Structure 1
């Protein structure tokens, strides 16, 4: 069965660094359970797939109380995905994970801009590797607020490490990319409308990452030919008559793109950026505004990469829920991180297995 081959191939690769054979076996068992268990991917349902005695207790210990470090596994997963599908884009994607109770680590009232209301939820940031055929998560961070970090009882109960500190959403998002040690030079895509765009842009570029960032209309930018900062929406409006259709897309209706050379008010004039407005013909309201440091990318390629944000959102709802990315019900910080690591591996198996072209196999 090809799915079993993909599972074995991936687990042999990404779990090879775990120090004990029983940990490698439990990891493979957990990923397999995430792929095959019916309903919510609780540890009980995952253990039901196993034929081993006391599987539930063993898997609970492996995820919540064992000593293995999830970051080497995630780095191996990123290398695996990059090698097999040629991922050339990293998508940073904050997401809310609804929760019913108050004990899951990081849970609280969180505002959802998309829904226009507050939810009882965890706030997590995922880093997704993306190619033309595959999107899959390879790293995660929990955005912990002051309610959790200042409460010693909650911190102790959830085993939140001492080095976890309060961060803005933008800082947490950037750290999700930086801590993985992703290869510099590949484009980083992020919707930063709810973040400090300048801070996000500055830190990513300092790390050598070319960026494509969705920005709010009120972000102040300096046109390349000017000296005074203006709102991005106003700059895009003045160049709207120069918009042109983007060819080479399958989108319907077609996409119109207008571009303006700009810089941030806090940077020097020789540090140029490109402001891009994307809209549909005949629409009077402002289109999407994107800021990029890669002015050499063709507009068709740029538009395809902006669409990766929506693709990740849709994939999280479909494949992500299929493998239980949002299903962890435990209370511990370590348990959450280990679960989403293994769920990301299961997600990768499905993504690689279902992509249009035949899966590439490793060769010895």
Structure 2
């Protein structure tokens, strides 16, 4: 961890926050049941959490620059030309009404409406591993329409309302500007059903496999708008192929998959498809995806990208259980970004260690024959 900390040390102008950041990262990786201000302070021999709180709330350091350092580190350790960027959000259950962005809202993490904050994230996945590389805190309209409430939580007047889809665009653009190597983007239907996001990706020639709702429509030949489920229903039985989507927590994820081309190939050499995933146990359970990618893309390539969406769920789980992503006790807007960024840094460090160990285990032995 000391070596990793040295990469970001220059982001902290003074020695006190620089040292606190190392303590904080070490504490996030420690085997503690809860990783809040008190427990992190105790872990490094402090009697009170004042220093930890000062690091998050008052100290001078650039959390966005650290975010960029984390992203660059992830690229160095697990980056690949065929990497996949995954967008998703996760909820952080909270009490009270004063923490930035908190309100009663639907949390996919809880599976119901709860008093919570919602963070939008971008993950990076390759055959070497996966990690979180960017983050945004969702501020509901009830917050952005009440600037006094925003100011009390440290949210500047310049911070606008933005949808989670806009957050994803911001994060993808930052990844593009930083020349992060990737071949595809994927996200669940909360993002995939939004047509302007799909158009934004197409305009930038970004290949994608985005889940969408069953009654979504796509533009087909002659510019007709057709429902995705109707297109899939028109496919013959032999169009379906049984393909594994990789290992899951309950074993191998095997489904029947099919796709249908929905538009002619344009001059840019990209194709458009609707992809479907059908449950083996219940053939009426079908998930749909809107896809855009190089014309030579195979069905199994689309399946691989669709399946990669689950890796961000695994990243959330690892970040929360191993790195304290959701253990924070902060109220201010900037403090949320600072804790989340340091938790992402801890996860990136673990990802690098695991990738290194996997590479050592996969190293070929010298033949004696």
Q: Give the TM-score band, short-chain normalised.
A: 0.7 to 0.9
After superposition, the Cα gap between the structure-2 partners of 1:277 and 1:114, relative to the gap in structure 1 and judged at 3 Å, is farther
Q: Which runs of 5+ in 1 are unaligned?
A: 1-6
Q: Secondary structure at the match of 2:293?
A: coil
Map 1:99-110 → 2, pairs under 5 A: 99-110=94-105
Distance 1:320 1:85 in 2: 21
Partner of 1:277: 276
- 1:45 paired residue number: 39
Q: State the partner residue of 2:234.
A: 238
Q: 1: CA distance between counterparts of 2:128 and 2:269?
A: 36
Could you tell me which residue of structure 1 aligns to residue 323 of structure 2? 323
Q: State the shift of 1:139 in Å.
A: 1.1
In structure 2, the residue matched to 1:28 is 22
In structure 2, the partner of 1:66 is 59
Q: Give 1 or 2: higher strand fraction.
A: 2
Return the alpha-carbon distance in structure 2 between the equivalents of residues 274 and 135 of structure 1: 27
Hey, what's the Cα distance between the residues in 2 that align with 1:350 and 1:318? 10
Rounded Cα–Cα distance in structure 1 between residues aligned with 2:205 and 2:24: 36
> 1: distance between equivalents of 2:211 and 2:188?
5
Please give the per-residue CA displacement for 1:242-301, whole angstroms capped at 9, x wherever unaligned.
42325576564633221112259xx99997422111224464214221222224333334
Does residue 77 (structure 1) correspond to residue 70 (structure 2)? The answer is yes
Total equivalences in the alignment: 350
Within 5 Å, give how 1:144-159 maps onto structure 2.
Answer: 144-159=139-154
C-alpha distance in 2, partners of 1:168/1:145? 8
Unaligned stretches of 5+ in structure 2? 362-369
- TM-score when normalising by structure 1: 0.85
Match of 2:214 among 214, 217, 220: 217
Task: State the match for 2:114 in structure 1.
Answer: 119
Matches of 2:126 and 2:30 in 1, distance apart? 26
CA 1:82/1:194 → structure 2, altered by over 3 Å: closer, same or farther?
A: closer
Alignment-derived partner of residue 197 in structure 2? 200
Q: Superposition pairs for residues 250-289 of structure 1, below 5 Å?
A: 252=252, 254-262=254-262, 272-281=271-280, 283-289=282-288
Q: CA deviation at 1:333?
A: 0.3
**Root-mean-square deviation over aligned CA pairs:** 2.9
User: SS at 1:162's partner residue?
Assistant: coil
For residues 114 and 135 of structure 1, the distance between their equivalents in structure 2, rounded to whole angstroms, comes to: 19
Aligned position for 2:8: 14
Number of the residue aligned with 1:4: none
**Secondary structure, counterpart of 1:254 in structure 2:** strand
Question: In the alignment, is the contact (CA less than 8 A) between 1:184 and 1:209 conserved in 2?
Answer: no
Alpha-carbon distance, 1:316 to partner? 1.6
